[in-house]
Structure 1
Amino acid sequence: MPTIGLIHATLNSVQPILEAFKQNAPDVKLLNFMDEGLIDELNQTNIVTDSMVEQLVSLMKRAESRRVDGILLTCSSFSPYVEAVKDTFSVPVLSADIAMLEHAIDLSDRIGVIATVSAAGPTTTKLLEEISEKNNKEIDIQTHVLTDAFTALQHGDTEKHNRLIRDKIIELSKTSDVVVLAQMSMCRALHGWDESSKPVLTSPEISIKKILSEIKGIQKSN
């Protein structure tokens, strides 16, 4: 089985992706690389700077130096910057939310987006628009950012974090055909809860299948 380097900008994304690998690909070896300063700076400035991208690339290079077979980034706020740098690496590089957004567009043209980090909402919306344009499909997007939920999670109040997200899912389900949770850290809100009348997409399982498929494709060609 391959070794995958996981790139994190927040500790909140670690548990959801590790649990997803345990359930879907338990034999894969995982190496974690993190810089929490990235999400802290992003929350303060709401802008992704060149310096932040350089720090992110540095984490990716560290993963590559450990001879991983693939690199998976777990923070959706930095997804738009992955495309520009991924070809400089010798292994497949994937941002976890891209496969999820492609699937959302396949499912419907009315998509609700929920984020808890200010930058993640507009980022996800823009990515959906770009993907839909490539597929010549018109979509309607409703995006809501719940910064109070992220603050609650940072302070250990998981119950409030989950409640705010669940309430918004129910609200968006009235006007959208599919709801997307923009960040991996939000997956915990769905644990033990299945009251949405519409599909709710999260990135861990979908991204695992895609990165493993890309790795397998390279291994076959070699």
Structure 2
Amino acid sequence: MKKVAVIHTTPVTIPTLKKLLTDNRRPDEEEIEVINFLDDSMLPEINRLGHPSEGVKYRLNTLLLLCQTTGADAVLCACSSIGGLVEEGSSLVGIPVFRIDEPMARLAAGYSRIGVAATLHSTIMPTTELIRRKAAMAGKEISIQSTVIENVGNLLAENKGDLYDKMVGEQLRLLLEENEVVVLAQASMARAVERWPEEEKSRCLTSPVSGVEAVRDYLHKKEG
């Protein structure tokens, strides 16, 4: 059995990522045990200050070290807002550390006109920077239109999922009118397009599936 430690900044992502990591196992794939670490103080602090504090960096680095103590084969960071900090802190541990949004950003960089949507201001910059970096590595010129969807952040915690999906979905469709694809900068936003027609849904790039697949592919190659 393989073991994956997942770092969360909101409890919303815990059930989704556990299901993706453990369900639909291929016949030649080992079972995966998921260990979750949650610190829901990071995002409020980042959004309040406008940047990650030294305290956030310290807590994240501590979580990375805790992940290694579990005997995990890999670490997955479920939050795009701290993706850059995770890359910096990954040198502290001797196991691979994955950003959930890295495969999504690589795919997005293959397009020329890209929309990026988030419900938190703290997520926009790390996501757009990652996409621009991927495009630069590929020698590709891109344009990015970013939008922060205001006043929806608490709806999921208040069990108002239908209203969240409606409000987020409306803004995503506006971005789709002007861009080839739209990047959903937070893993928790993927639920807003789950019931969309496939033609529309396929133009919205989400991080949970591609991020988890990158981890599972690594573990499978490691088995071989």
After superposition, residues 72-221 of structure 1 pair within 5 angstroms as 72-106=76-110, 108-194=111-197, 196=200, 199-220=203-224
Partners of 2:104 and 2:205 within 8 A in 1: yes
1:46 counterpart residue number: 50
Q: Deviations over 1:92-144 (max 9, x none)?
A: 101101111101113x1111111011110122111111121121111111110
Q: 1:20 to 1:212 in 2, by over 3 A?
A: closer
TM-score (structure 2 length as normaliser): 0.90
Q: Deviations over 1:51-100 (max 9, x none)?
A: 20110111111111010000000010001122222132111101101111
Cα distance in 2 between the residues matched to 1:137 and 1:181: 21
Cα distance in 1 between the residues matched to 2:202 and 2:190: 16
Partners of 1:173 and 1:197 within 8 A in 2: no
Q: 1:3 to 1:129 in 2, by over 3 A?
A: same
Letter of the 1:58 partner, please give it.
T
1:22 Cα deviation after fit: 4.0
1:46 Cα deviation after fit: 2.5
Query: What's the % identity of the aligned pairs?
Result: 26
Q: Deviations over 1:187-211 (max 9, x none)?
A: 1212323372751111111111212
**1:36 aligns to what SS in structure 2?**
coil
1:14 counterpart residue number: 14
Partners of 2:113 and 2:143 within 8 A in 1: yes
Q: 1:206 to 1:105 in 2, by over 3 A?
A: same
The structure that is helix-richer by fraction is 1
Cα distance in 1 between the residues matched to 2:176 and 2:152: 19
Q: How many residues align structurally?
A: 219
Cα distance in 1 between the residues matched to 2:38 and 2:196: 29
**1:150 aligns to what SS in structure 2?**
coil
Partners of 2:109 and 2:132 within 8 A in 1: no
Residue range with higher mean Cα deviation, 97-106 or 25-34: 25-34
**1:153 aligns to what SS in structure 2?**
coil
**1:68 aligns to what SS in structure 2?**
coil
Cα distance in 1 between the residues matched to 2:202 and 2:23: 23
**1:94 aligns to what SS in structure 2?**
strand
Cα distance in 1 between the residues matched to 2:86 and 2:23: 26
Q: Within the alignment, does 1:57 sit opposite 2:61 as a pair?
A: yes
Cα distance in 2 between the residues matched to 1:91 and 1:71: 7
Unaligned runs of 5+ in 1: none
Unaligned runs of 5+ in 2: none
Q: Deviations over 1:160-205 (max 9, x none)?
A: 2111111112111111111110001111212323372751111111
Letter of the 2:84 partner, please give it.
P
